[in-house]
Amino acid sequence: MGRITIQKTAIEKVFRQHERPLGIDEVLKYGRKLVASLNQATVYRNLKTLIDDGWLKRISHPILGSLYERTGKGHHHHFYCRGCNRTFDISGCALKEEHTAPDGFIVEDHELFLFGVCPSCVEKTT
């Protein structure tokens, strides 16, 4: 089980080349530069496999839909710029250690999305 195909290798390479959350369309676009015949269904199937392997993580972007990013980059959050529509990784954690949820709730994980304007878009506005 688990063959090393040129398609899967290409998809992994795409994520290594672009260290930011990618949408399916982007994975397909960049992947086709490496394997011209790359099919959409193959991308979906490999993304699922890579998630099961723990190599990728799916994040649900409130506006852009499904995005995928590599695991093992350390805990971080995401910032979405409404100016340029890009999604940035924000390293570190801005959560208070305690009082995240009422007593009795066991918090195992969390996902934080920040919205606003990124530095380069702030410049353009001013």
Partner DNA sequence: GTGTATGCAAAGCTTTTGCATAGGT
Partner DNA sequence: ACCTATGCAAAAGCTTTGCATACAC
Contact 15, 24 (CB under 8 A): no
d(CA 81, CA 112): 14
What mask, x for binding its own copies by CB under 8 A, covers residues 63 to 82?
Answer: x---------------x--x
Site residues for DNA, 1-60, by CB under 7 A, read 1-8, 24-25, 35, 37-42, 44-46, 48
Give the burial string for 63-74 (b: 16+ CB within 10 Å, else e).
eeeebbbbeeee
116 is an interface residue for its own copies by CB under 8 A = yes
- Cβ closest to its own copies, residue 2 vs residue 102: 102
Choices 12-20, 30-38, 41-49, 105-113; region in contact with its own copies by CB under 8 A: 105-113
- Cβ closest to DNA, residue 7 vs residue 87: 7
- Residue 57: φ, ψ to 5°: -135, 135
What DSSP state is assigned to residue 92? S
The residue count for the chain: 126
- Give residues in contact with its own copies (CB under 8 A): 58-63, 79, 82, 88, 90, 92, 94-96, 99-119, 122
